[in-house]
Structure 1
Amino acid sequence: MERQYHLLARLEHDFDHVIETCEALIGHVEHAPPKGWVLGDTPFDIAWLRHALLDFWYQDGQDGRATRNYIGLIAADSTLLAYVADINHAKQTFAATLAEIREDAPSLLPEIKAVLPFRHPTLHDHLRGQGLARLHLKQCWRHLPVADAPLSRVRLAWYSSGRSIKRLSVRDAERRLLEMDTESPHIRIQLRHLADIPDGEPLAQVQTQAPVMRANLFFREALADGRMRRAMNLPLPLFIPSEDGRLPSHNTPEATPPNTRTRAKRADTKLEDAPFLPSLRVYRYR
């Protein structure tokens, strides 16, 4: 019990530091506004940046696996980049403490999501009025993307991979089902189905993936390892080193992702149409 209190106290301190570093960056930007661009019709301003940095909350009815994106580009001098580094270090510390709690005291997680917001009541009360209630832990610790060096241009495109497929053994599937409510009839049925197939048969666990914005970064000069470009996902605004305060050339994709996949279906997704173990999203190969 004492260790649980210690972990919770550490996480509270780490959460406070994440908020403090975000507020410090926002305060700096208020006095030294950088050039910025936001995807869609929303202008880049301090209100948009504050919302992007401090959106740590579930919306009513939000899928717990989904996170909200804030896609934009920000020209950052060395001072602004230092504030970004402080935020990312604070988020890294928060994530590390959270990982300890998931490992050693997972029963604390519901309390964490409910209690931490009240440490910043002004922020909490404001967001509660917009239908936001509990902490979205992943949105707390995801890092702000930063370009490695000044860029000549940025090419943005939606990437719809459709779904990810992970190989799963029969024993792994059984272990995961046994962690669920084995008194439930639908779990017992799935355990029986699993017992009827060979132990060595590979299974596929399927995770539907939301479209993501992918950025191809083209550097003005080669990096130390010789690279002239890099690709990264942009869930949050990209901070680009720019001592002259200008943004690099960039395209303007559609504000919403396409309805269809942008890449061909992979050959290894030849699965049965119906899930074999619905509770785990597990399919058999044809």
Structure 2
Amino acid sequence: MSPAAAPSYRLLAELEAAFDALIERSEELLAAYSRSPAEAWAFQADASEAWLRRALLDFWYQDGQDGRTTRSHVGLVAADDILLEKVAAVNAAKAEFATQLAHIRDNHPPLLAEAKAVLPFRHPELHDHLRGSGLARLHLKQCWRAIPVAEAPVARVRLAWYSSGRSIKRLSVSDVEKKLMTLDTDAPHVRIQLRKLAGLPSSEPLAQVQSQAPLMRANLFYTEPLDDGRTRRAMNVALPLFLPAPRGRLPDHNLPPAAPPETRTRARRSDERLEDTPFLPSLRVFRYRNL
């Protein structure tokens, strides 16, 4: 091995070790679940051991899946102390895997493609079932996203679709210019947008808008106030939510609609203040009205 290749080899080996630990901790959690008396509920599915396995080990792209999106596995699991310890171990392994990925992305980006190709084959029992199923590539974000956990016993859970529609990030003219300069500045449409931006006062705020897919949100109502006085909490639940329950019983919970509402049910926020058409289409940047 050449000295130049040594750092890359070490980084890939460390990432492989972190992935191995993630799989091992996940299998330990699943084994503990199979031995526990925990009640579980799954959204539009049978809350079986097979369902939980699919949810926790869903690390793959489906054919045609947008790389920016992740699949959801909504459910509730009543967890005793042993299960909660196993969940904490899985989340710690996910955090370590994410840290290793971030280091590679920042320092050796070409290694990411190699990692996606190599990691699935380290665990043949995971990879074998992919043949013919349209699942062939590792989805890194689905690997490191954390399992949601309630920090205290819950009296009831109310699940609801959250359709925020758009996320809005306020940017300065300088911020937007930097983003435009990362594009192909020789392209005519980018040059046009740079000229438009140059005509704005440097102090004018702009808004970058990103469409968001509907997601499921759980509103938790605690059995007792927390130390900070809170009695409830809202959290997004793309993976099964583990709820502290020493006796393995689920709290009262509702059945949300099968699909999100087609139109907004909440009042529109600051996006009403944005112009109707993007000022810089390549970046989805809008001007504010009446500034």
TM-score by length of 1: 0.94
Q: Partners of 2:185 and 2:114 in 1: how far apart?
A: 26
The answer for the alignment partner of 2:92 in structure 1 is 89
Return the letter of the residue paired with 2:95.
Q
Partners of 2:82 and 2:259 lie apart in 1 by 33
> Which residue number in structure 1 is paired with residue 14 of structure 2?
10
Alignment partner of 2:101: what SS? helix
1:33 positional shift: 5.1
Partner SS state of residue 239, structure 1: strand
Return the offset for 1:182. 2.5
Q: Distance in 2 between matches of 1:128 and 1:85?
A: 32
Shift of 1:155: 1.1
Match runs of 1:1-286 below 5 Å: 1=4, 2-32=6-36, 34-40=38-44, 42-286=45-289
CA contact (8 A) 2:37 2:248 kept: no
SS in 2 for 1:215: strand
Cα distance in 1 for partners of 2:105, 2:283 equals: 20
Q: Which sits farther off after the overlay, 167-176 or 102-111?
A: 102-111
Cα displacement (A) at 1:199: 2.3
Distance (Å, rounded) in 2 between the aligned partners of 1:278 and 1:256: 30
Q: Quote how far apart the aligned CAs of 1:16 are.
A: 1.1
Identity of aligned residues (%): 65
Q: Indicate the SS of the match to 2:10.
A: helix
Distance 1:208 1:6 in 2: 38
Check 1:115–1:188 CA distance in 2 against 1; reply closer, same or farther (3 A cut).
farther
Note if contact 1:165-1:269 (Cα within 8 Å) is conserved in structure 2. Answer: no
Is the Cα contact below 8 Å between 1:101 and 1:108 reproduced in 2? yes
CA positional deviation for 1:147: 1.0
SS at match of 1:7: helix
Kindly provide the CA deviation profile for residues 124-183 of structure 1, in whole angstroms up to 9, marking residues without a partner as x: 231242111222111111111111111111111111111011111222112112212223
**Aligned pair in 2 of structure 1 residues 121, 184: CA closer, same or farther (>3 Å)?**
farther
Distance 2:190 2:115 in 1: 29
| Amino acid in structure 2 at the alignment position of 1:77 | D
* Displacement of 1:100: 1.4
Give secondary structure in 2 for the equivalent of 1:106: coil
TM-score (normalizing by structure 2): 0.92
Mapped partners of 2:124, 2:261: distance in 1: 39
* Paired AA for residue 89 in structure 2: D
Output the CA distance in 2 between the equivalents of 1:144 and 1:81: 11
Distance (Å, rounded) in 1 between the aligned partners of 2:146 and 2:193: 39
Quick check: 1:159–1:262 contact (8 Å CA) kept in 2?
no
Alpha-carbon RMSD? 1.6
CA distance, structure 2, for counterparts of residue 255 and residue 230 of structure 1: 23
Structure-2 separation of matches of 1:258 and 1:278: 28
Q: Any conservation in 1 of the 2:171–2:207 contact (CA below 8 Å)?
A: yes
Aligned partner letter, 2:28: A
* Paired residues, number: 285
